[in-house]
Each structure stands twice: as structure tokens, then as C-alpha cells.
Amino acid sequence: MKKWKKSLFGASTAVFAAAALTACGGNGDEEAGDDDGDNGDDGAEVEHEWDFITEETPGQVQHEYGLEFAERLEEKSEGSIEVNVHEFGGLGDEVDQLEQLQTGQVEMGIVSPGFTGPIVPEAQVFSLHYLFPNDQETVQEILTESEAINEHLRSNYEEQGFTPLSFWTEGAMAWTSNTELTSPDDFDGFLMRTQESPLMLESYEAYGANPTPMSWGDLYTGLEQGQVEGQENPIFFIEDASFHEVQDYLIISDHNNYVATTSVNNDWFDSLDEDLQEMIEETVEEMQDVAFELQEELNESHLEEIEENEEYPTEVIELSEEERDEFRELAEPVREFFREEEGDDAGMILDMLEEEIEEMS
Ligand code: 6CS
């Protein structure tokens, strides 16, 4: 079951997170400073206190990102900014959190397109299979540089009350299952857990599967009890959430990537002085490299943990290019579905993104 994971940013944040959780009565609220109850910069006056939501728990990529982001802002502001990083579940599930960001109940945080899909249909472009290349450095470069994503898609988000200041990868998606999933035939009638995005359902229906949206908070039990038979996630998350304990196979499919956004509530962000806006934007930019290293290190180390785990042995299968081609062929028509059904800008965004991917790959 869930284990404590060492913080990549050193013992101080890990120890502090544990202490802060105790101090807060374990409700998931934390301060990313020291453990004496102020903002970590002894004696400094806190002028701004902001809530930062994440969809993950301590030790996982989003939460570690949140702690580092908070620490950097607190340092730069010499203690006048305090950011409370919330772990998944502290303020509700992924959909509740998204609503809090939209309405300004929380100022900022990390939300992912798998949950924003129902309100920003164009964001589901990230749920298309075999659109991006495999190499994560190239994926990150596209996410950071793409005009289709950072201008056009960003403005689709803005219309919904919040704005992604950055898009970044948490790693390539892999499948887990109790049966081998190496060809589309293996998905026939397969009960696949997905996030909320309607396009995710469409993508798995194209393989003949029977997809079911479910919060990850219910997923371990869902897999254990057979409500769903498999799921997709980056490897660090599969191991950290212990899904491999109730699944026999890990299939390296590289069918797409887990994309996260660092987003802000529009009304709140617009109300800030320019120097604060710049400080936040600068820190978000710095965090692109931090996030990349974080996901890389966690995905590698958690794969090793899965491979070495004798108590819960998992067979790791890497799909060959020929096997991927079979999935690619069935995934291709889903792009047309996206163009036609997922928002006025879907076609334009996908066309532009396909060209950018071609140029950057
Ligand atoms: O599968 C999910 O729903 C979760 N996966 C990741 C990598 N982060 C948070 C998300 O809610």
C-alpha cells in the first residue's frame, strides 16, 4: 500500500511536509517554509497567502513541484508570499478542485487536461494517441514552444476563468492490466479506467474497449474488485499509487503523455500588481526544467522498483513498432472526431500542432 517517498528536493521539504500535515490535523494543507508556523522566513510579514492545488500526493511529481514552486516564491518575495500546497483529496477530488480554480476559491495550481476536457474541449488534443513523439525531451520542447498550445489553446482555457501559464509532461503513459495488451484485439470489451475527458473514451472505444471514467482515489479498489480491468498512467504514478500490486502486466505503449498545466485563476491573477505577476511567471518558467528532471528521475526510479518487486511481481512488456502501428491505425480516425466534435478551434489547433510536431521531431 502507500509508502513514504523521499523528497527529490532534500530532506527538509519532506520533513517539513510531514510536520505541517500533523500541525494541520492531516487535512492536506501545508506551508512550504520551515516548521515554526510562519512562512519560513523568520520574522517576515506575510502579505499574500495563496492556495495551490495539486492532483497528487506527497512524493509524486505535482506535489513536489508545488513545494518547490512555493519555496521559490517565498524566497524571492523575502517571505511576503506564502503558498499553501494542497495534496489530492485535501480539498476534494480532481473535478472539485478544477471548479475551485475556475471560481477563484483557490488562486492557482496544477490541473490536467484529462479533467478539463469537459469544459475546454480543445484541451483534449493531449488525449489523442500517437500524436506526439516518444522522446520526452522533444515532447517537453513542443509543450513549451508550441504556438498552437501556448497561444490558441491557452485562450480556450482563458474563456473558462483560468489560464495555464505552462504545459509540461509528467512522462509517457503506460497501460496496466491482468492480461497482455499488445494488440487492439486484446482491448475487445476491456473495462478501461479513464479520466473525465470524453475524447479519452473515444480513443479507447476505437480499440473496442469499454472505458469508464473514475477518480484515481477509487482506482486501486476499482482494479482490485474488478470494476475496471486496466488503466493508463505514467510509471511513477502506477508504482506510487500501488496499482501494480493489483495488476500483473505493465505495458510500455508510449501512446501519449501525461500533460499537466500550472494554472491561475484569471480574476485573481489580473488583480495582482505587475511585479507579482512577473515573479509568478518567471518562477513558472524556471519550473519547466525542474518538472522535467523530477518526472524523469521518478519515472526511472519507480520503474526499477516495479522490476525489482518480488512481493508483487509485474511483467513489463514493451510494445514493438509493429505492435504500435496496429494501435496507430485505429487511433488515426479519432483525430477527425476531435477536429469535428471538440470545439470551434479544434481543427485549427490540431493542424497547427501537427505541423509543429513535424518540425520539432
Ligand atoms: O490518473 C489520474 O487521474 C492521476 N494521474 C496522475 C499522473 N496525476 C494525477 C491524476 O489525477
Residue 90 within any structural domain of the chain:
yes
Angle in degrees, 0-180, between the axes of helices 136-145 and 274-308, rounded to the nearest 10: 160
Q: Give the mean pLDDT of 40-63.
A: 89
Give the pLDDT band (50/70/90) at residue 10: very low
Q: Which atom of ligand 1 is nearest to the CA of 215?
A: 3
Please state, for a pLDDT cut of 70, what percent of the chain lies above it: 88
Ligand 1 in reach of 196 Cβ (< 6 A): no
For residue 94, report the distance from its CA to the centre of ligand 1, in Å.
9
Cβ 109 under 6 angstroms from ligand 1: no
For residue 46, give the CATH number of its domain.
3.40.190.170
pLDDT for residue 34 is more than 60: no
- Domain that includes residue 306, residue range: 20-360
The string of pLDDT tens digits covering residues 286-322 is 999 999 999 999 999 999 999 999 999 999 999 999 9
Does the beta carbon of 258 sit less than 6 angstroms from any atom of ligand 1?
A: yes
d(CA 109, CA 126): 19
Q: Whose CA is nearest to atom 11 of ligand 1?
A: 55
Report the pLDDT value the prediction gives residue 44, as an integer from 0 to 100: 78
The rounded distance, in Å, linking the Cα atoms of 80 and 108 is 17
Consecutive H or E run containing 176: strand 162-177
pLDDT of residue 334: 98
Q: Are 287 and 262 in contact (CB under 8 A)?
A: yes
Per-residue pLDDT tens for 67-117? 999 999 999 999 999 999 999 999 999 999 999 999 999 999 999 999 999
Q: Give bridge partners of residue 111 from the DSSP assignment.
A: 261
**How many A from CA of 215 to the centre of ligand 1?**
8
pTM of the model: 0.90
In a domain, 48, yes or no: yes
Output the average pLDDT for the chain. 90
Residue 340 within any structural domain of the chain: yes
Tally the domains of the chain: 1
Question: Is residue 12, in this structure, part of any structural domain at all?
Answer: no
User: Whose CA is closest to atom 4 on ligand 1?
Assistant: 216
Neighbouring residues of 120: CB distance < 8 A, sequence distance ≥ 6: 113, 153, 156, 157, 160, 343
CA distance 173 to 92: 25
